[in-house]
Amino acid sequence: MLGREVALGLIRRGHRVTAFQRSDAKALKASLGEQGRERLHQHRGDLTDPDAVRRALEDADAVVHLAAKVSVSGPWEEYEQANVRGTRVLLQLARRAGVRDVVYVSSPSVSHAGSAFMGQGNEPAEPDAARGSYARSKAYGERLALEADGEDFRVGVVRPHLVWGPGDTQLVERILERAARGGLPLLDQGAALIDSTYVTNAADAIVRCLERIEQAHGRPLVVTNGEPRTVGELLGGMCRAAGVPEPTRRVPSSLARLAGRVIEKVWERRPGEDEPPMTEFLAEQLSTAHWFDQRQTREVLDWTPEVSIDAGMERLREYYRG
């Protein structure tokens, strides 16, 4: 979803875009007119395959790196392969190919050690303190990206927080599926205050980072809508937009964290087809405040989000009505 919107934004600005991914970008092509489709080229492959990456980088002068394993479960080796080794391969080959500018898409979770974020800015990535394999692997990837930064190879880092929107299978669809079967509890009354980012706002910020790479390179920038809402409000809004019953079951966060720890151990031995219903990391995310100071991000990128949370919910409602 986010990659599609970034590619659309670049194509609409007149750029020629190569999409490097594991499958054809059918949704992206469907969003483009004939002229836009002429500016889109596709390569299929894996980030850890140097030959495939090298072919995708031919004639490129900039890279936006969004590919990652995104999940709350699974063996560390899978995260390390995609999010650390893949990032290393891409950075090395991009430099050799003569690419000048790179935007690495990270996550605020790279600096989350379990305590609340309440107005913090752009804290450094801490792999050893990061919670869960996804956050730890992204923290290592971000460090690689920033270590590669220099005047002749400029690397900007954008950390969009909790991206959502129509067609989202990572967050919105999982929330709706669990809510529909009564498996989505509100931890501590759903009172934790959190930031989120509507998808087109996140994409615009990533494109702005590329356009303003001279000002933005060499430091991480957290991106959000800047409209903190409670977990209960956000989950309820998404459920109402799709006509799914809102979550009403309330569970203490301490109990959810304990249950998540146990479920993770069971999942390691007997993994299910989907992600586990609860993990310790997920319980933390649903019960801990996460909202960020956006002043530096907006100043460096010369950017403000165009779509409010309420307007995004209305777009989500129109999507499900369709």
Nearest partner of 229 among 199, 194, 187, judged by Cα: 194
pLDDT score of 290: 85
Residue 238 contacts residue 265 (beta carbons within 8 Å): no
Provide mean pLDDT across the span 281-310.
90
pLDDT score of 206: 98
Please report which confidence band the pLDDT of residue 273 belongs to, taking 50, 70 and 90 as the band edges: low
Q: How far is CA 267 from CA 19, 165, 258, 276, in A?
A: 34, 29, 14, 7
pLDDT in tens, 48-66: 899 999 999 999 999 999 9
pLDDT score of 120: 80
Going from N- to C-terminal start, the domains of the chain cover 45-321
SS3 191: coil
Amino acid at 262: V
Which option is the CATH number for 45-321: 3.40.50.720, 3.40.50.880, 3.40.50.410, 3.30.470.20?
3.40.50.720
Tokens of 101: 């500018």
Q: Is it the case that residue 132 has pLDDT exceeding 90?
A: no
Please report which confidence band the pLDDT of residue 148 belongs to, taking 50, 70 and 90 as the band edges: very high
Q: How far is CA 13 from CA 6, 16, 211, 229, 293, in A?
A: 11, 9, 11, 32, 29
pLDDT in tens, 69-82: 888 778 889 999 99
Residue 114 contacts residue 290 (beta carbons within 8 Å): no
Nearest partner of 225 among 282, 316, 162, 147, judged by Cα: 162
pTM of the model: 0.92
Q: Is it the case that residue 276 has pLDDT exceeding 70?
A: yes
Active-site pick, 134, 140, 198, 319: 134
261 vs 37, residue with greater confidence: 37
Provide mean pLDDT across the span 260-285.
73
159 vs 170, residue with greater confidence: 159
Residue 61 contacts residue 94 (beta carbons within 8 Å): no
pLDDT in tens, 191-201: 899 999 999 99
pLDDT score of 95: 96
Compute the distance between CA of residue 159 and CA of residue 141 in angstroms, rounded to an integer.
12
Provide mean pLDDT across the span 228-257.
89
Matching residue, tokens 């605020």: 108
Tokens of 63: 């890279």
pLDDT score of 90: 96
Q: Per-residue b/e over 47-57, b at no fewer than 16 CB within 10 Å?
A: bbeeebbeebb
The DSSP call for residue 184 is: -
pLDDT score of 272: 64
Residue 169 contacts residue 1 (beta carbons within 8 Å): yes
Catalytic residue check, 140: no
146 vs 29, residue with greater confidence: 146
Provide mean pLDDT across the span 202-217.
97
Provide mean pLDDT across the span 132-139.
91
Compute the distance between CA of residue 91 and CA of residue 95 in angstroms, rounded to an integer.
6
pLDDT in tens, 103-130: 999 999 888 776 777 888 788 888 888 8
Provide mean pLDDT across the span 301-316.
97
Average pLDDT over all residues of the chain: 89
